[in-house]
Structure 1
Amino acid sequence: MPENCSPLNAALCATEPTPPEDPAAPAPSVTVTLRDIASFIPAKPGNEMEPGGWAVEDLPANFVAEASAQVVSGTLLGRPADVRFTPVAFRWRHSDGGVVESGAPGETWAALGQREFTPTGTSHVYAESGEYTVTLEAVLRAEYRFGGSGWRSIAGTLAVAGDPQRVLVGEFDTVLTNGDCNANPSGPGC
């Protein structure tokens, strides 16, 4: 058979695959690839940041992905099917050249029990003031099933990018104080 022969490219194959007549029948004994599920489109991940849309030069900004497992229905190999996409990793690409990778979507400082501007596993520090963008990619594992059968894994992963987010970075000077930070460590700016 030709190298590009697959059930979705039947014209390239010596013979067309014949789908089973019973929709509840077991899945065909073919290998389903990421290319075969190209028509199953997962949702773009959301990207939240703390503080919202701005950051302070030389202090961590915290990023939190919004992505979860999702099932997309459609037709696969000529049969009704479901494809489940599950996030397994996250990658934030910053326009200053920084890349942050994590196996978890991150959490807010409050959920982590941390003070604002403390480092997290998904934070990034901008070294200079300016306007930047950050784009989140969710790395997804895919599985498929026919007619309610068990889920079958598809080899490989795919990265789905969210919309770029604008980040304004500036310098910060504490102006209002209630004593120095040694005398009042919970005061503004401490």
Structure 2
Amino acid sequence: MGVIRVALGIAFWLVACCTVELPSASADDAWASNNAGDRGIDIGARFKIDPATGQLAPSLGSTSTSPSSENPNQYMADTHCRADGPDTKDPGCDALDCPATTPAGEEGTPVIWKEAPKAITNPGWTDWIPVSGPTCLYDPEPENVLANIAARILTDFRQLPVNPGNLEAQPFPHTLKGGPTNFYATAADQTFDLTILGQAVHLTATPTSYTYTYGDGTTLGPTPAAGYTIPETEWLNNQTRTSHTYTDTGNYQAALTTSFTGTYSVNNGPPLPINGTLDITTPTKTIHVWKTEKALVADTCQENPNSWGCPDSPEN
């Protein structure tokens, strides 16, 4: 049993009791859609985070409430320069060079990417300017490979070893009944380089929303708030957006579910959205909630080890 004695003859007695089981966390699968065309492949899906539910949902027109850091553009891949295409004699195709990557390999097919603002329905497309050189596809059916990658990218995304970060608490591991306990997440952006259907795919996973399970039957989220650390002097009187106040003593199993959104690029092409989330729950963290009791005492524990609240006190 923990005891803290302070000045003015007031002692605080911290008492812990019973445990509470953690409710099981659940994750919702997000929607996915891919569109294929004859001369181009539109895989510039649009999505937003619903402020009421925190879940990903389709976004049409200019109603998106996605974070400002989200790419405002959508993309379309034009493969009309493919080897068997009707426009191979286009002078613009001759200017796009996709040499073989191996001595005995076949030349690739250049892809002309188009971009347009997501907020515009049926937009006018403009050429996307790559960082260096054209995007090249090395596949016998280049007009299909982008759609095939788009169809499986969510599955590949959910199989990556994404680090969910940690759930942190202040104070920890002991906190007080009736006082705020500050929780925060430490997840960060992560990048991966993959080979999918013979193409180089660069994928970025970004933590977007968080669901805090406090272990006493209450939750917070999904919310975009990752929380933050606060100075020790503010632990007992600073109510943050992600803090929680326990109303009963006990040992509580707290956990955090982080929802990651993702983007991917094929052979140095533009960043394309992954239509779905990767939801990862951290291992539980035990929070010991104690209560306080106070009493006036006449002397210190050094003067009287049997005094109330001291280690040798009969009440302990």
Common fold by TM > 0.5: yes
Q: Aligned in 2, Cα 1:44/1:21: closer, same or farther, shift over 3 Å?
A: farther
Give the structure 2 partner of residue 108 of structure 1: 229
- Provide the secondary structure at the position in 2 that maps to 1:106: coil
Aligned residue number for residue 207 of structure 2:
87
The answer as to whether partners of 1:140 and 1:159 remain within 8 angstroms in 2 is yes
CA distance in 1, matches of 2:254, 2:107: 49
1:91-110 CA distance string (max 9 Å, x none): 11122111012312101223
Matches within 5 A, 1:153-172: 153-172=273-292
Alignment partners' CA distance in 2, 1:83 and 1:166 = 34
* 1:160 to 1:66, Cα distance in 2 relative to 1, 3 A: same
Deviation at 1:42, TM superposition (A): 0.9
Identity of aligned residues (%): 23
The answer for the alignment partner of 1:125 in structure 2 is: 245
Contact in 2 for aligned 1:45/1:161 (Cα 8 Å): no
Q: Partner of 2:136 in structure 1?
A: 25
1:96 aligns with 2:187: no
Q: For 2:235, give the aligned amino acid.
A: E
Instruction: Say if 1:175 and 1:143 are closer, same or farther in 2 by CA, change over 3 A.
Output: farther
1:166 shift after superposition: 0.9
Instruction: Report Cα offsets for 1:99-140 as digits up to 9, x if no partner.
Output: 0123121012239xx822221100111111111111111111
1:32-111 map, 5 Å: 32=151, 33-101=153-221, 102-110=223-231
Larger radius of gyration: 2
Q: Structure 1 residues 64 and 145, CA, compared in 2 at 3 Å: closer, same or farther?
A: same
Q: Distance in 2 between matches of 1:64 and 1:133?
A: 15
Q: 1:50 to 1:174 in 2, by over 3 A?
A: farther
CA RMSD of superposed structures (Å):
2.8
Distance 2:269 2:294 in 1: 61
Normalising by structure 2, we get a TM-score of 0.45
* SS in structure 2 at match of 1:34: helix
Q: What secondary structure, in the 3-state scheme, does the structure 1 residue paired with 2:208 have?
A: strand
Secondary structure of residue in 2 paired with 1:156: coil
Deviation digits for residues 139-182 of structure 1 (CA, Å, limit 9, x no counterpart): 11111112332211011222111121111000124579xxxxxx
Contact 1:69 1:87 in 2 (8 A): yes
Task: Give unmatched runs, 5+ long, in structure 2.
Answer: 1-105, 110-134, 297-316
**Structure 2 Cα separation of the partners of residues 22 and 51 of structure 1:** 58
Contact 1:65 1:106 in 2 (8 A): yes
Contact 2:157 2:278 in 1 (8 A): no
* More strand, by proportion: 1
The alpha carbon displacement at 1:21 in A equals: 6.1
- Equivalent residue number for residue 179 of structure 1: none
Check the 8 A contact 1:143/1:154 in 2, yes or no: yes
Give the paired residue count.
157
C-alpha displacement at 1:22, in angstroms?
3.9
